[in-house]
Amino acid sequence: MKTSDLTGESLELLVRDDHGEPSVFGPESLLREARRQRGLPAGSVPAVCLLDPDGDVVRHLARTGRGIPSPSWACYHTGLVETDIAGLRLGVVGCAVGAAFGVLVAEQLFASGCELLISVTSAGRVAGDPPPGLLLIDRALRGEGTSHRYLPPAGSVAADPLLLAAVTRGLDAAGIATPRVVTWTTDAPFRETRSALAAAAAAGALAVEMEAAALYAFAAARDRPVVCFAQVTNQLGQVDGDFEKGPADGAEAALAVVVAAARGWLAGSREEDH
């Protein structure tokens, strides 16, 4: 369908100018009613939370007996496990994959006491030979949907540079190399055509994932600290043996990055307070 074929009513849904207008429906309302229906106690999630779209971290914590289900997390669609790692209390939500789902959970996490949200996702190769390990996403090309409900139209959305600087200091202090990259956030993973991939590569994207642009748009619109990492695990299923993350399905590596990033953020927050 061409844009010229759309009716006026359809265009009003697609082209928005209400980004500064508050939503009638908010995460607090959803959490309130879920808590009422389920008889859940009041409570807060840990200050640092991890979005684990692939669910590998959550499954690893369950296998090793290190994850405790939150007694007060009131999200209808997900569970949250808490764990202590190197002196850091961490909340983890698994399998919230995709832009809309990721932001749905992000909104509720911040409404429940989260102060820093870190996303660690897998990604597919778009161009070049990506470095091994986790990559720090400093800018994401925007997909077709969720990010445009938080920010006016633009080709990409960047992370908060001050937050990235603080996180990078923490990673450097831990001796963890996480090169900064540009990714493409797609809202339709099985529509990654050669034309779309070529366009993403031409715009500077090294990899394709499903959440970062929406999370960064939410972060910018709501003034919330969000940082996204990705590991390029696959060549879009074009070779045998694709989608491997390494030992423990990459869970321990992801947790090490989260702890280092959180320590950098915490150190930066203490400096701001003084």
Residue 250 DSSP one-character state: G
In this prediction, residue 6 carries a pLDDT of 44
Listed range (128-137, 161-170, 175-184) with the worst mean pLDDT? 128-137
62: tokens are 């369950």
Task: Give the mean model confidence (pLDDT) for residues 173-180.
Answer: 97
Has residue 10 got a pLDDT over 90? Answer: no
**What does residue 259 show for φ and ψ, rounded to 5 degrees?**
-60, -45
Q: How far apart are CA 206 and CA 201, in angstroms?
A: 7
Query: Higher pLDDT residue, 136 or 128?
Result: 136
Read out DSSP for 142-200? --SSGGGGTS-S-SEEE--HHHHHHHHHHHHHTT----EEEEEE-S-GGG--HHHHHHH
Q: 27-32 — which CB contacts under 8 Å span 24+ positions?
A: 27/107, 27/108, 27/110, 27/111, 28/111, 30/75, 30/76, 30/108, 31/74, 31/75, 31/108, 31/111, 31/112, 32/74
Q: How far apart are CA 134 and CA 113, in angstroms?
A: 27
Render pLDDT for 84-124 as a digit per residue (tens, 0 to 9): 999 999 999 999 999 999 999 999 999 999 999 999 999 99
Residue 11 DSSP one-character state: H
Render pLDDT for 15-42 as a digit per residue (tens, 0 to 9): 678 888 988 999 999 999 999 999 999 9
Q: Residue 213 belongs to what H/E stretch? A: helix 212-222
What is the sign of the dihedral through the CA atoms of 254, 273, 82 and 150?
negative
What is the model's pTM?
0.93
Identity of residue 145: G
The full set of domains in the chain, from first to last, is: 28-273 (3.40.50.1580)
In this prediction, residue 237 carries a pLDDT of 83
CA angle 105-119-261, nearest 5°? 130
Residue 131 DSSP one-character state: P
